[in-house]
Chains A and B, each alone.
Chain A
Amino acid sequence: MSGTTRRTFLAGSALFTIVPLAPASATPEAMAQAIRDLVGGRPVREGRVTLDLPPLVENGNAVPLTVSVDSPMTEADHVRAIHVFNEKNPQPRVFDATLGPRNGRAAVATRIKLGDSQRIVAIAETSRGELYGASADVIVTLAACLEDLT
């Protein structure tokens, strides 16, 4: 497959907004609530965060994901946490990483489970208390000829 896997969501305004993709389903609200619980009333800005996910995956059991944040990672100015949320899994959290100046680079990669095509949101917290966010939409397909008929 060709093309970049870099996916940074750009909204019209400078503030990052979380809009549930499918208002009818309960889980996008759960994701929005989980994000609200984390950020409180603080604004979440756009930029600095890159959420790398393949736009289409052949199986939702192990989707490679990388979150990287543009930051000097100095004692005075560094990323202290990265939080990732999902919209359609049974529960809205993916992971929470704590970082510091000893990382040198704010980038975390892992593999995640996605039960359905959905939006993933990453929010980074800096040592100055600022929040930056990005989101990406992933389409989850399945191979044919699986182990069980269900």
Chain B
Amino acid sequence: MRLPDRPARWAVGALLAGVFAVSFALAQLLPHAVTPAGAQAPDPRRSGTQDMGEALQRMQADDAANPAMLFVQLGEQLWSRPAGTTGKACDGCHTVADMKGVAVRYPAIPRGGDAPIDLEGRINRCRTEHQQAPALAPESRDLLALEAFVARQSRGLPIAPPDDPRLAAVREEGAALYRLRQGQLNLSCAICHDDNAGQKLAGVVIPQAHPTAYPIYRLEWQALGSLKRRLRNCLVGIRAEAWPLDAAPYVALEAYLMDRARGMRYEAPGVRP
């Protein structure tokens, strides 16, 4: 192509500079999506809800049909039931509105403590320290019901692990457990849930394993259960030593998983197959 001769080239240059200047100025005024930098990439993370069939998604979304809501109702009844030598109920110290945002920031290290606890640990800490009542047994109906009731108050909020710097070491421990190959099948959580999420295992989609909906009504259990119970099922599934329900590593693993799910929408209480 033959360049235009000198005077025309100058005009073209000025024209181009002018166009650039105007569009640059416009770009400062228009919303970010229009800038050359491009729109934000969609979140590649999927909740297990999205990997279920339509019928189960509807069951979870309908409070009148979600079996977990029976446990939320029980939790609501327990919330105002006096316990322990103090004769205080949960509502002696807290309003239900106080519970909004609580479930999404666990596991956490409690004030005056140094070990991380999950939401169940927090409920039991309230019972033993403030109600002077015995702790509720792991996976007991009352503990799960209170957990479901408290968790329900955070539904719709983004998962928000706390900024406590002491949790960094806990999350690292959890991450190491997540990547640990174990059991007769020598599998780690990461092999299924990072490397093969979205693929099918025995006809069912492998989820990414974000704890967005716990506690869940698992159809397999025909009951409500905690993340610990579900993680224990994973250990059984990979033919590894299933840690007892009060084992501390569950809390570290949960701390890692909640950090991995940071910002995702909390959907508790969920339904899962």
Spell out A's residues near B (CB within 8 Å): 1-2, 5, 54, 56-59, 61-64, 111, 141-149
Contact = CB atoms under 8 A, between A and B. Distances in A.
A1 to B, nearest CB: 5
B69 to A, nearest CB: 14
B234 A145 contact: yes
Contact of B220 (A2, A63, A143): A143
Contact of A142 (B58, B59, B204): B204
Given A143-B273, A144-B202, A147-B221, 5 more contacts: A1-B53, A57-B53, A58-B56, A62-B67, A147-B236
A144 B237 contact: yes
A1 B220 CA distance: 20
A56 B237 contact: no
Nearest to B53: A1
List the 7 closest A-B pairs by CB distance, nearest first.
A145-B237, A58-B273, A59-B273, A59-B219, A141-B203, A54-B55, A61-B219
A124 to B, nearest CB: 22
Most buried by A among B58, B201, B220, B233: B220
A58 B221 contact: no
Contacts of A62: 59, 67, 219, 222
A62 B70 CA distance: 15
Contacts of A111: 59
Nearest to B51: A58
Interface band, chain B: 20 to 34
A61 B201 CA distance: 19
A1 B273 contact: no
Given A141-B202, A141-B204, A147-B220, A58 B236 contact: no
B236 A145 contact: yes
B164 interface: no
A146 B53 contact: no
Given A58-B219, A146-B220, A146-B236, A64 B204 contact: no
Most buried by B among A59, A111, A141, A146: A59
B55 A146 contact: no
A143 B219 CA distance: 10
A57 B57 CA distance: 12
Contacts of B206: 144
Interface string B236-269: 1111000000000000000000000000000000
Given A57-B55, A64-B59, A146 B204 contact: no
A59 B67 CA distance: 15
B238 A145 contact: yes
A56 B52 CA distance: 11
Contacts of B220: 59, 61, 142-143, 146-147
Nearest to B54: A1
A75 to B, nearest CB: 30
Nearest to A149: B236
A3 to B, nearest CB: 8
Nearest to A62: B219
